[in-house]
């Protein structure tokens, strides 16, 4: 009997394909009173937390309330920020989308007012406020898609810190291995199917080519469901 292919093993699940716990401990923005009045604070510390790829800013308000927020690009320790209604349009300030001008870049946007931030939080990401109506704000997300959120949702001015993180090369295969391992459900390095034995993979065999069409039905059994699953088209694209 042939060995199960990787897609079958991954589909069954198990410890090898389980993502590790991130270890996030930061408390998001939970200042309820900042919705209706202006609160000032300053950055106490910039920390890197497991489970996140952005830098977190620890902010102490004038009311001695402390919370964490995703740090904006260019934020430094000791910088004063404003939170809530009436805050100025400056890098790192947190205010409702109702007070943000159109065309302004924002990040760490609340999907629901009061949730602390749910959109555009990864390194270097930001959304553009395209337009506003009576109750909704239209955002252009980093993916290029548009989304409507309530005008009372708060957001941070600027873009998330660490935008050049992905430009640094891994250099060694070992670093790539542990980075992929932390994601869970992935395998690195990946062996090509055509380089395997015929008993191990449908594309395997003596010659290093598939030997058959790589298109496969979406309803194919797990041992055959490899290659271009339910491909809409194949071959070169005609102009």
Query: What are the extents of the domains in the chain?
Result: 6-15+184-229, 32-72+88-165
pLDDT grade, residue 146 (50/70/90)? very high
Q: Which of 109-113, 122-126, 220-224, 233-237 has the lowest mean pLDDT?
A: 233-237
pLDDT at 33: 60
Higher pLDDT, 39 or 19: 39
Which of 3-12, 21-30, 123-132, 229-238 has the least mean pLDDT? 21-30
The confidence band for 11, taking pLDDT boundaries of 50, 70 and 90, is confident
Contact 73, 91 (CB under 8 A): yes
Superfamily for the 6-15+184-229 domain: Ribosomal protein L2, domain 3 (4.10.950.10)
> What pLDDT is stored for residue 27 in this prediction?
59
The mean pLDDT value for 7-34 works out to 70
The residue whose two tokens read 């349009």 is 89
CATH of 32-72+88-165, one of 2.30.30.30, 3.20.10.10, 1.20.140.10, 3.30.70.930: 2.30.30.30
User: Does residue 105 register a pLDDT over 80?
Assistant: yes
**Residue 35: pLDDT above 70?**
no
């Amino acid at each position: 009997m042939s060995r199960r292919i990787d897609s079958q093993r991954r589909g069954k699940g198990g410890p090898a394909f389980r993502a590790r716990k991130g270890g996030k401990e930061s408390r998001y923005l939970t200042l309820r009173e900042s919705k209706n009045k202006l609160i000032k604070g300053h950055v106490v510390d910039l920390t890197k937390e497991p489970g996140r790829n952005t830098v977190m800013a620890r902010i102490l308000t004038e009311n001695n309330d402390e919370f964490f927020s995703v740090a904006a690009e260019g934020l430094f320790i000791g910088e004063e920020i404003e939170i809530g209604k009436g805050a100025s349009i400056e890098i790192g300030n947190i205010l409702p989308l109702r007070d943000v001008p159109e065309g302004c870049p924002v990040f760490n946007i609340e999907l629901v007012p009061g949730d602390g931030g749910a959109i555009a939080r990864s390194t270097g990401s930001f959304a553009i406020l395209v337009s506003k109506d009576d109750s909704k704000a239209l955002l252009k997300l980093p993916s290029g898609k548009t989304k409507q959120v309530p005008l009372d949702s708060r957001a941070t001015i600027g873009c998330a810190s660490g935008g050049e993180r992905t430009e640094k090369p891994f250099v060694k295969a070992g670093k790539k291995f542990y980075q992929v391992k932390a994601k869970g459900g992935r395998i690195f390095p990946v062996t090509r199917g055509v380089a395997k034995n015929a008993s191990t993979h449908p594309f395997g065999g003596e010659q290093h080519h598939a030997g058959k069409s790589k298109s496969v039905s979406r309803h194919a059994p797990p041992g055959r469901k490899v290659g271009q699953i339910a491909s809409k088209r194949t071959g070169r694209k005609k102009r």
